[in-house]
């Protein structure tokens, strides 16, 4: 059940041992170079497949495998409750004694299993890992018989591997990447739940325990760890089991002595970047360094003596992995709870439960109080726990669910392909609260993905504000990219289980874009501190200089990524936003550019009309971050930032930045957050970075709900189009949506709000009191203006007048037709009374002539 990638070797052709019934003699007549070591390890892995597993955790600079032999009774599985132990030797290539004696140890454990009760019991109850050489390249260069030299000490890149690990007292960014061997060990250590470890060296005769250095970085200073008591006890076990180490004589050539053969590392000499401190601070593992011989690379005939001196100590030290307290952490259904925190009261150091909920806590004899906590569960405390020096104490914990949030447990960098896979996974797992959509494509055709998180994804709910995060605008600035993926995971996994998360999602439409520059990311490199490799998009354009400028100083065609974001901003009524970068540790607010027409103008505070609210929301993020608010500058910078915030142009002026465009061209208030000094930190740093930014990311989203909000409608309750909401005294308006909604961020205080719209009387509301809590709701009802009513009346009069004219004309025409027809008929009647026609006096005949025309209601004079 390993969480890291290893190479398991299935041996096809090997030199087999003749019989497991015959003990093979320890090969102490020669040193094993890389080839002979490899051959021997393969032989033992094949001869003892039921208790061994051979694998490599990585390769050296010169491509030699970093072999590890696992020895346990079930090597093909991880057994619940079985502690993991490791020995690492030959970290310094010319310190060869440790390399050879752990080779002998491998032989001894394998050959004695099933024959020696003590060894059999140890292998059956312990998961043992032995790495004979962490620096095989250096060993190949070392010189036999060289007792005090440095030839072969460092790796093939001439780096001291025991100065190459992250150091607790050194916050300076690294000038070079970590070595392959170091990275391999870091991944191995952090991917497993090792409990105890020994790091074997040469050049003295002493056991050295943490801490190996101090903030003073000077020798002779005792640098005490929280577990100083157990470290001394563990180191004494080895020293007292060693034939001569316990005498404390040290080495004559150095005129040094060590009481009982042990010493605090830093008190002896300062070692920054050492492996034993890294084990203790970044994993569950307690590691001690043992200097095994005064001569680093003695002649071969000394090896039997060294083996005899160390054999019992090596076994006795492994047995110490079972001391202290151990057990399981489960829920009420008996399901394991991994990653639970075990805290011993009075000792400022915790360990975590492993994948089966099992844990191990090394302690000296005494009575203790232990508290176990886990995300999503109520804490559990047990007092009066008795620990002896003879056998370990078993103590199990059962935890009950609560509303505490679940936390991500995997921290790694995501390629563009893995990022897309991650987003699709969470969109499919949580369809009721997520919607995955693309706003466009990069120059190289990669989708610009956005994850929407809301209780009604895909729908804009009336009155609900919209928020966005954008990261990785500069392709080599990657912290935001990874913390936003972790934020997506955190929000999804805790919705419905954690009240604060559920309320945030129910009341906010959240949009998260993990990368705006996927093309640049492909070129960036892990470990980059301050370069520009991968910063720009595929066309070599800095996307944070590509937006339209408020003074129209950068007229040019826009990049596809920029166009996509601009279109996106116009489609959604965003209220608040943050753009996540790297290269400093500060929250940066508008304006980013000065008012100078010179695009290369010198830094100067460029105040926007909403300077106070921008300072407020920037402080919210800074103060929620454990270090940002301290205002410390990065090592490569001279600036410092009071309270961890700065006006953009006062830091340095840029033209065409995205945050200014948001503020000037949309309703959205955006700030830029620089999340760390290193642009592309190592994956091993991501957990700490997430812990530092998690609370700040969540707290900043909540700021979208501050200030004033409401609706603008007419007297009939219809939304008023193009309504402008103005804060009297501030030269920055916002526009209501098509539904009449508005959100206006403001700091606490009393305000006057003025709303206007074409065709309506403006409405002024005074004494609007804004608190530090949720936004106050202020609705507006606009009345159509008199000019609008007059215009409406004029239209009505014009229409009615036109209709009247048409009617009159129609009547005139009809009258003319009637007169014409009557005149014609009368003329025909008159003709009948003239000679030679007789004149008729019968009126009925007249009526018959006029039967087509009704004059009954029309007097003749009217006609």
In contact, 704 and 508? CB cutoff 8 Å: yes
- Cβ neighbours, 10 Å, residue 141: 15
Tokens linked to 9: 């070797």
Residue 628 Cα to chain centre, angstroms: 16
In our burial notation (b when 16+ CB lie closer than 10 A, e otherwise), range 21-60 reads eeeeebebeebbebeebbebbbbbbbbbeebbbbbbbbbb
Q: What is the pLDDT of residue 509?
A: 98
Q: What is the pLDDT of residue 814?
A: 66
For residues 20 and 611, the model is more confident at 611
Catalytic residues: 291, 674
pLDDT above 90 covers a percentage of the chain that reads 75
Question: Tokens 């325990």 sit at which residue?
Answer: 209
- 127 — alpha (psi -120 to 50), left (phi > 0) or beta? beta
Query: By three-state DSSP, how is residue 8 classified?
Result: strand
Query: Facing residues of 207 across strands?
Result: 262, 290
C-alpha angle 506/511/513, rounded to 5°?
A: 150
Question: Tokens 């009604």 sit at which residue?
Answer: 456
* pLDDT over 90 (residue 540): yes
For residues 23 and 451, the model is more confident at 451
Residue 656 phi/psi, 5-degree rounding, is 90, 25
In contact, 262 and 209? CB cutoff 8 Å: yes
Nearest to 88 by CA among 201, 205, 175: 201
* pLDDT over 80 (residue 824): no
- 294 — alpha (psi -120 to 50), left (phi > 0) or beta? alpha
C-alpha angle 303/308/310, rounded to 5°?
A: 95
In contact, 392 and 324? CB cutoff 8 Å: yes
Residues 599 and 255: their CA atoms lie apart, in Å, by 66
For residues 827 and 102, the model is more confident at 102
Query: By three-state DSSP, how is residue 597 classified?
Result: coil
Give the pLDDT mean for 781-785.
94
Q: What is the pLDDT of residue 8?
A: 38
Residues 494 and 470: their CA atoms lie apart, in Å, by 22
In contact, 58 and 171? CB cutoff 8 Å: no
Residues 707 and 581: their CA atoms lie apart, in Å, by 27
| Range from 330-344, 468-482, 707-721, 825-839 carrying the lowest mean pLDDT | 825-839
Strands (E) in 239-365, as ranges, are 262-264, 286-293, 325-331, 341-344, 350-352, 358-361
- 578 — alpha (psi -120 to 50), left (phi > 0) or beta? beta
Q: What is the pLDDT of residue 805?
A: 65
Q: What is the pLDDT of residues 416-465, one digit of tens each?
A: 999 999 999 999 999 999 999 999 999 999 999 999 999 999 999 999 99
What residues contact 808, with CB distance under 8 A and at least 6 apart? Answer: none
Nearest to 468 by CA among 438, 503, 512: 512
For residues 487 and 853, the model is more confident at 487
Q: What is the pTM of this model?
A: 0.54
Query: By three-state DSSP, how is residue 589 classified?
Result: strand
C-alpha angle 200/206/211, rounded to 5°?
A: 80
Q: What is the pLDDT of residues 318-367, one digit of tens each?
A: 999 999 999 999 886 678 999 999 999 999 999 999 999 999 999 999 99
In our burial notation (b when 16+ CB lie closer than 10 A, e otherwise), range 703-727 reads bbbbbbbbbbbbeeeebbeebbbbb
At 817, is the pLDDT very low, low, confident or very high (cuts 50, 70, 90)? low
Strands (E) in 698-792, as ranges, are 708-714, 724-727, 734-735, 741-744, 749-756, 763-770, 776-777, 780-782
Question: Tokens 């005074």 sit at which residue?
Answer: 766
In contact, 635 and 173? CB cutoff 8 Å: yes
Q: What is the pLDDT of residue 747?
A: 96
Q: What is the pLDDT of residues 30-52, one digit of tens each?
A: 899 999 999 999 999 999 999 99
Q: What is the pLDDT of residue 92?
A: 98
* pLDDT over 50 (residue 863): no
At 399, is the pLDDT very low, low, confident or very high (cuts 50, 70, 90)? confident
Nearest to 351 by CA among 195, 226, 189: 195
In contact, 290 and 200? CB cutoff 8 Å: yes
In contact, 539 and 443? CB cutoff 8 Å: yes
At 798, is the pLDDT very low, low, confident or very high (cuts 50, 70, 90)? low
For residues 378 and 546, the model is more confident at 546
- Helical ranges in 625-735 per DSSP H: 648-651, 658-665, 686-702
Residue 294 Cα to chain centre, angstroms: 48
Write out the H or E segment, with its range, that includes residue 69: strand 65-71
Q: What is the pLDDT of residue 375?
A: 87
* pLDDT over 80 (residue 401): no
What residues contact 519, with CB distance under 8 A and at least 6 apart? Answer: 442, 443, 444, 446, 475, 537, 538
pLDDT above 70 covers a percentage of the chain that reads 87
For residues 432 and 556, the model is more confident at 432
* pLDDT over 60 (residue 847): no
| Range from 111-125, 165-179, 712-726 carrying the lowest mean pLDDT | 165-179
For residues 632 and 786, the model is more confident at 632
How many residues appear in the chain? 863
Q: What is the pLDDT of residue 573?
A: 97
DSSP character string of 172-229: SPPSSPPPHHHHHHHHHHHTS-EEEEEEEE-SEEEEEES-S--TT--TT-----TTHH
Give whichever of 384-388, 553-557, 571-575, 635-639 has the largest mean pLDDT.
Answer: 571-575
Mean pLDDT in the chain? 88
679 by Cβ neighbours in 10 Å (0-12 / 13-18 / 19+) ranks as buried
* pLDDT over 80 (residue 119): yes
Q: What is the pLDDT of residues 635-669, one digit of tens each?
A: 878 888 999 999 999 999 999 999 999 999 999 99
Give the pLDDT mean for 286-314.
96
Give the pLDDT mean for 580-591.
96
Q: What is the pLDDT of residue 256?
A: 85
Q: What is the pLDDT of residue 812?
A: 63
Residue 467 Cα to chain centre, angstroms: 18
Q: What is the pLDDT of residue 816?
A: 65
Write out the H or E segment, with its range, that includes residue 308: helix 303-319
Q: What is the pLDDT of residue 636?
A: 77
| Range from 157-166, 597-606, 706-715 carrying the lowest mean pLDDT | 597-606
165 by Cβ neighbours in 10 Å (0-12 / 13-18 / 19+) ranks as buried
Q: What is the pLDDT of residue 800?
A: 60
* pLDDT over 70 (residue 484): yes
Q: What is the pLDDT of residue 860?
A: 31
Q: What is the pLDDT of residues 71-93, one digit of tens each?
A: 999 999 999 999 999 999 999 99
Tokens linked to 30: 């020669």
* pLDDT over 90 (residue 809): no
Q: What is the pLDDT of residue 24?
A: 61
Tokens linked to 859: 């007097």
Tokens linked to 556: 């040019």
Query: By three-state DSSP, how is residue 112 classified?
Result: helix
At 598, is the pLDDT very low, low, confident or very high (cuts 50, 70, 90)? low
Q: What is the pLDDT of residues 128-169, one digit of tens each?
A: 999 999 999 999 999 999 999 999 999 999 999 999 999 999
């Amino acid at each position: 059940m390993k969480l890291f990638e290893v190479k398991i070797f299935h041996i096809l052709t090997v030199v087999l041992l003749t019989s497991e019934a015959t003990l093979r003699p320890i090969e102490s007549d020669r040193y094993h170079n890389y080839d002979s070591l490899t051959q021997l390890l393969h032989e033992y892995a094949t001869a003892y497949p039921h208790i061994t597993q051979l694998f490599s955790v990585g390769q050296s600079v010169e491509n030699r495998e970093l072999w590890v032999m696992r020895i346990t009774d079930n090597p093909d599985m991880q057994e619940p409750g079985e502690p993991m132990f490791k020995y690492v030797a030959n970290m310094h290539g010319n310190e060869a004694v440790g390399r050879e004696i752990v080779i002998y140890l491998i032989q001894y454990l394998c050959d004695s299993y099933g024959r020696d009760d003590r060894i059999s019991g140890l292998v059956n109850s312990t998961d043992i890992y032995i790495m004979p050489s962490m620096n095989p390249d250096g060993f190949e260069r070392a010189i036999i018989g060289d007792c005090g030299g440095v030839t072969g000490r460092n790796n093939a890149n001439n780096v001291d591997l025991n100065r190459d690990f992250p150091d607790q007292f050194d916050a300076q960014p690294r000038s070079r990447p970590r070595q392959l061997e170091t990275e391999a060990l870091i991944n191995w250590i952090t991917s497993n739940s090792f409990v105890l470890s020994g790091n074997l060296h040469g050049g003295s005769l002493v056991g050295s325990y943490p801490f190996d250095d101090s903030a003073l970085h000077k020798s002779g200073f005792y640098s005490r760890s929280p577990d100083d008591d157990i470290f001394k006890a563990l180191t004494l076990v080895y020293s007292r089991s060693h034939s001569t180490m316990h005498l404390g004589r040290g080495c004559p050539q150095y005129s040094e002595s060590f009481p009982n053969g042990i010493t605090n590392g830093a008190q002896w000499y300062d070692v920054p970047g050492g492996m034993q401190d890294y084990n203790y601070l970044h994993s569950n593992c307690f590691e001690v360094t043992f200097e095994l011989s005064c001569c680093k690379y003695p002649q071969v005939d000394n090896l039997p003596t060294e083996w005899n001196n160390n054999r019992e100590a090596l076994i006795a030290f492994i047995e110490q992995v079972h001391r202290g307290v151990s057990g399981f952490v489960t829920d009420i259904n008996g399901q394991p709870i991994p990653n639970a925190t075990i805290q011993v009261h009075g000792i400022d150091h915790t360990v975590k439960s492993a994948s089966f909920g099992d844990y191990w806590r090394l302690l000296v004899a005494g009575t203790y109080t232990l508290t176990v906590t886990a995300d999503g569960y109520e804490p559990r405390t047990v007092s009066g726990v008795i620990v002896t020096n003879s056998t370990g104490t078993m103590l199990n914990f059962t935890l009950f669910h609560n509303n505490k949030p679940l936390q991500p447990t995997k921290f790694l960098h995501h390629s563009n392909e893995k990022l897309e896979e991650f987003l699709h996974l969470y969109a499919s797992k949580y369809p009721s609260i997520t919607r995955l959509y693309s706003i466009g494509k990069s120059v190289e055709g990669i989708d610009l993905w956005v994850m929407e998180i809301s209780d009604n994804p895909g729908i804009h709910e009336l009155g609900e504000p919209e928020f966005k995060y954008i990261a990785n605008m500069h392709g080599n600035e990657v912290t935001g990219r990874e913390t936003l993926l972790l934020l997506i995971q955190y929000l999804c996994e805790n919705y419905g289980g954690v009240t604060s998360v559920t309320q945030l999602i129910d009341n906010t439409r959240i949009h998260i874009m993990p990368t705006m520059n996927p093309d640049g990311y492909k070129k960036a490199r892990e470990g980059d501190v301050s370069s520009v490799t991968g910063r720009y998009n595929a066309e070599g354009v800095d996307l944070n200089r590509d937006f339209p400028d408020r003074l129209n100083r950068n007229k040019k065609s826009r990049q596809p990524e920029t166009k996509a974001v601009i279109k996106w901003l116009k489609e959604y009524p965003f209220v608040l936003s943050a753009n996540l970068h790297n290269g400093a540790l500060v929250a940066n607010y508008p304006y980013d550019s000065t008012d100078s027409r010179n695009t290369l103008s010198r830094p100067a505070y460029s105040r926007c009309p909403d300077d106070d609210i921008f300072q407020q929301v920037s402080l919210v993020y800074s103060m929620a971050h454990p270090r940002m608010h301290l205002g410390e500058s990065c090592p490569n910078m001279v600036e410092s930032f009071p309270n961890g915030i700065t006006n953009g142009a006062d830091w340095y002026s840029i033209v065409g930045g995205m945050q200014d465009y948001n503020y000037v061209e949309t309703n959205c208030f955006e700030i830029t957050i620089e999340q760390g000094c290193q642009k592309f930190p190592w994956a091993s740093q991501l957990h700490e970075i997430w812990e530092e930014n998690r609370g700040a990311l969540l707290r900043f989203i909540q700021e979208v709900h501050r200030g004033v909000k409401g609706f603008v409608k007419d007297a009939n309750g219809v939304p008023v189009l193009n309504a402008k909401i103005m804060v009297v005294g501030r030269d920055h308006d916002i526009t209501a949506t098509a539904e009449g909604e508005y959100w206006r961020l403001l700091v606490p205080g009393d305000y006057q709000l003025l709303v206007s719209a074409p065709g309506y009387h403006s409405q002024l509301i005074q004494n609007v009191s804004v608190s530090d809590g949720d936004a106050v709701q202020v609705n507006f009802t606009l009345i159509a203006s008199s000019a609008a009513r007059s215009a409406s009346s004029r239209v009505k009069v014009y229409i009615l007048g036109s209709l009247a004219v048409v009617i009159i004309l129609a009547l005139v025409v009809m009258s003319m037709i009637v007169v014409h027809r009557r005149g014609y008929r009368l003329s025909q009647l008159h003709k009948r009374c003239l000679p030679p026609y007789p004149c008729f006096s019968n009126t009925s005949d007249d009526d018959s002539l006029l039967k087509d025309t009704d004059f009954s209601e029309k007097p003749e004079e009217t006609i």
